[in-house]
Amino acid sequence: MAIADIERRLTALGANDAHVQRVLRHWVQDRPLTEGRRKLEHFLPQAVRDALPALMDELHGLTRLLESHPGEDGSARLLVGLRDGQTVESVLLPRDGLCVSSQVGCAVGCQFCMTGRDGLLRQVTSAEIVAQVALARRQRAVKKVVFMGMGEPSHNLDAVLEAIQLLGTAGNIGHKNLVFSTVGDPRAFERLSDGPVKPALALSLHTTKPALRRELLPRAPRLTPRELVEAGERYARETGYPIQYQWTLLDGVNDGEDELDGIVELLKGKYGVLNMIPYNSVPTLPFVRPDWDKARDIARRLHERGVLTKLRDSAGQDVEGGCGQLRARSLDLPRE
């Protein structure tokens, strides 16, 4: 189900734009349909009121909480069931954030990611993306949504943009608190600039070397790191939001002096921040998490050389490593 389908169904029942927004707010924010003492018939046509209980059951049934794994950092990894029996992961982040999934599986096939192991199984619909937020809000407040879960958002662009549009309006999430995360796709840059709700942007850089990037992200669009940063810089200047450059730190792979020099050359003076995230080791993948002190030293040195760098641990690191592992475990998928 797409959000446009929900809107069409309500319109066919006689709802106008304000009615549709009221119903969507009721779903995504769990807000009452009425205000003050005025009765429901003042707010919605009879046919919409009659259809509402079944529609709400249907919308709340788009996602089911199958497992919740709280981490020591205030996060919780959620395994979410979809109606056809597929599963995705959402992560409740510290400080009222939520990380959502945009695809079941992923076609990019990053060498260090469990989600990429299965390839793409199916797209997550726009309503299922928003339903992850509605489900999380039944656990706690959500004021920020990042599209950094399973999947590459630019490979499901129509659905992700439709969800962003709703979350930035009826969902009551500030536009800069919606974060579209991508390996970089020219179509995404064009469409994000055009939309009425412009999210912040996170770009997965991971290396400054074009050949190594092709190896690590084998099916990402063939933009070089420099082209990626140029596109990011244009978007940052246009929106006024700094770009978040994501760098999964892999011991002995992308943490050498040559990469540090490359980062300074690419990012110094740019309107962005470099987020370095030490890799979460997975027993059967051939990458190693760098020592935390080494990672801290790298971040400090980059900072001293003029690149705003933040060292982060991925949420729920103590729970179950990186994205895709909960799903793999629930299905007993091979992890190699």
Footprint on this chain of ligand SF4 (rule: CB under 6 A): 106, 108-110, 113, 115-116, 150-152, 183
Determine the Cα–Cα distance for residues 256 and 160; give it in Å rounded to an integer. 35
> Closest distance between ligand SF4 and the C-beta of residue 52, in Å?
36
CB of 219 to ligand SF4, least distance (A): 8
Q: Cβ of residue 290: shortest distance to ligand SF4, in angstroms? A: 18
Following DSSP, what letter does each residue of 208-245 receive, concatenated? Answer: S-HHHHHHHSTTS-S--HHHHHHHHHHHHHHHS--EEE
Tell me whether strands 243-249 and 200-204 are parallel, antiparallel or unpaired. Answer: parallel
Greatest C-alpha distance within the chain: 68
C-alpha span between 267 and 18 (Å, rounded): 45
Distance CA 63, CA 82 (A): 5
63 vs 181 by CB, closer to ligand SF4: 181
CB of 115 to ligand SF4, least distance (A): 4
Q: Does residue 74 come out as left (phi exceeding 0), alpha (psi in the -120 to 50 range) or beta?
A: left
- Closest approach, Cβ 196 to ligand SF4, in A, equals 26
> Between 152 and 162, whose beta carbon lies closer to ligand SF4?
152
If the CB atoms of residues 98 and 183 are measured against ligand SF4, the closer one turns out to be 183
Side chain identity, residue 212: L
Of the two residues 25 and 206, which places its CB atom closer to ligand SF4 in the complex?
Answer: 206
Identify which of residues 116 and 168 has a Cβ nearer to ligand SF4 in the complex: 116
Q: Characterize 288-308 residue by residue with b for buried, 16 or more Cβ atoms within 10 angstroms of its Cβ, and e for exposed.
A: ebbeeeebeebbeebeeeebb
Query: For residue 62, what is the enclosing H or E element?
Result: none
CA 156, CA 175: separation in Å to the nearest integer?
A: 20
Among 58, 53, 59, 47, smallest CA distance to 16 is for 47
**Which position's Cβ is nearest ligand SF4?**
116
Least distance in angstroms from the C-beta of 181 to ligand SF4: 8
Of 256, 238, 128, 252, nearest in space to 193 by CA:
238
Whole-number CA gyration radius for the chain: 21
Active site residues: 89, 323
Alpha carbon distance 88, 129 (integer Å): 10
Q: Which is nearer to ligand SF4, 28 or 326 (CB)?
A: 326
